[in-house]
């Protein structure tokens, strides 16, 4: 049975009265989880950091430095899937279950029904779609300028600045869409035996029912992730686990078990 602060979605209910206090509580709980089990957070974030270094190296050696900006801008699209193992750590701490590498890495593989794998494929498609859009925007604005992609100086030209403006708007829309699809669905797939379409519906309903708070959470995530990427991606070693654990706790506030239908 739902109350005034909840809305029925699929086989469960979601909260529609999240506040800034819930975000603060999620951040505090996320930090506690990271500090209690730092090895797992550092492991998953190190993979993300090394992937960032590899992408930078490839673009630099291929004289395509300009592509570093759209690639870095789209990089956070992959962060929710990298955080799946962190959701399992938080789930086990909350339930008082033993935490071990086998259980945590097993969560990344999913429940054996390929639902989490399909969500991972969707996230990867989102990243590749963004890169394709970035290539198209570059071609539209820079093809006639005679400036190549080998130097960031290309971005200081009028065409380059126009490209950045348009690309930023398009990128923000794509990022917001995939955020709405994944912010609740991925922890939900780790926590419960549901199909990925149901998880997506619940995630979208949560964002729609708490638009102001959830958009604020998206802005906070984007801001903190970008700040973490600035010092050679090294800030992500702390930022990514913190936000990953915090997202789990926000999910638990948004879809509490005690009000399941």
Report the pLDDT averaged over residues 113-131: 76
pLDDT tens digits for range 84-106:
889 999 999 999 999 999 988 88
Give the pLDDT confidence score for residue 121 in this predicted structure.
78
Query: In angstroms, rounded to a whole number, what is the distance separating the alpha carbons of residues 210 and 183?
Result: 13
* pLDDT tens per residue, range 39-50: 999 998 898 888
| pLDDT score recorded for residue 90 | 95
> Is pLDDT of 126 > 80?
no
Block residue for tokens 């789990």: 248
Q: What is the pLDDT of residues 175-224, one digit of tens each?
A: 888 889 989 999 999 898 888 889 999 999 999 999 999 999 999 988 88
Of 142 and 121, the structure prediction assigns the larger pLDDT to 121
What's the pLDDT at 248? 96
What does the pLDDT average to over 97-117?
A: 80
Closest alpha carbon to 26 in 260, 256, 243? 243
How far apart CA 43 and CA 86 sit, in angstroms, is 10
At a CB cut-off of 8 Å and minimum separation 6, what does 188 contact?
Answer: 194, 199, 202, 203, 251, 255
Q: Please give the residue that has the higher pLDDT: either 139 or 48.
A: 48
At residue 64, the pLDDT reads 61
Closest by CA position to 15, among listed 219, 166, 163, 207? 207
| 3-class secondary structure, 9 | strand
Distance separating alpha carbons of residues 152 and 134, to the nearest angstrom: 15
Banded pLDDT at 259 (limits 50, 70, 90):
very low
- The pLDDT value recorded for residue 141 is 72
Average pLDDT score over residue span 72-89 = 76
For the four alpha carbons of 15, 23, 188 and 70, in that order, the dihedral sign comes to positive
Cα 94 to Cα 88: distance, rounded to the nearest angstrom: 10
Count other C-beta atoms under 10 Å from residue 251's C-beta.
Answer: 26
Q: What's 14's DSSP letter?
A: E
* Comparison of pLDDT for 7 and 168, the residue scoring more: 168
Token readout for 133 is 């859009």
User: In this predicted structure, what is the pLDDT of residue 261?
Assistant: 39
């Amino acid at each position: 049975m739902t109350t005034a602060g909840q809305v029925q979605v699929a086989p469960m209910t979601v909260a529609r009265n999240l506040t800034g206090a819930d975000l603060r509580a999620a951040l505090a709980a996320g930090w506690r989880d990271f500090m209690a089990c730092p090895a797992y957070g550092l492991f998953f974030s190190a993979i993300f950091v090394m992937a960032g270094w590899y992408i930078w190296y490839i673009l630099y050696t291929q004289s395509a430095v300009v592509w570093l900006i759209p690639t870095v801008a789209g990089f956070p699209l992959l962060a929710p899937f990298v955080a799946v193992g962190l959701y399992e750590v938080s789930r086990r701490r909350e339930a008082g279950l033993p935490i071990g590498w086998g259980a945590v890495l097993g969560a990344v593989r999913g429940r054996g029904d390929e639902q989490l794998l399909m969500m991972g494929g969707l996230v990867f498609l989102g990243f590749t779609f963004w890169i394709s859009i970035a290539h198209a925007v570059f071609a539209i604005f820079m093809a006639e300028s005679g400036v190549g992609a080998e130097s960031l100086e290309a971005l200081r030209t009028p065409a380059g600045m126009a490209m950045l403006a348009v690309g930023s708007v398009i990128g923000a829309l794509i990022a917001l869409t995939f955020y709405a699809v994944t912010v609740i669905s991925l922890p939900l797939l780790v926590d419960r035996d549901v199909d990925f379409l149901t998880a997506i519906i619940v995630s979208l309903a949560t964002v729609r029912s708490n638009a102001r708070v959830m958009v604020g959470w998206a802005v906070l995530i984007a801001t903190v992730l970008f700040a973490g990427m600035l010092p050679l991606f090294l800030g992500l070693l702390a930022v990514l686990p913190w936000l990953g654990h915090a997202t789990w706790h926000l999910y638990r506030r948004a879809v509490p078990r005690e009000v399941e239908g």
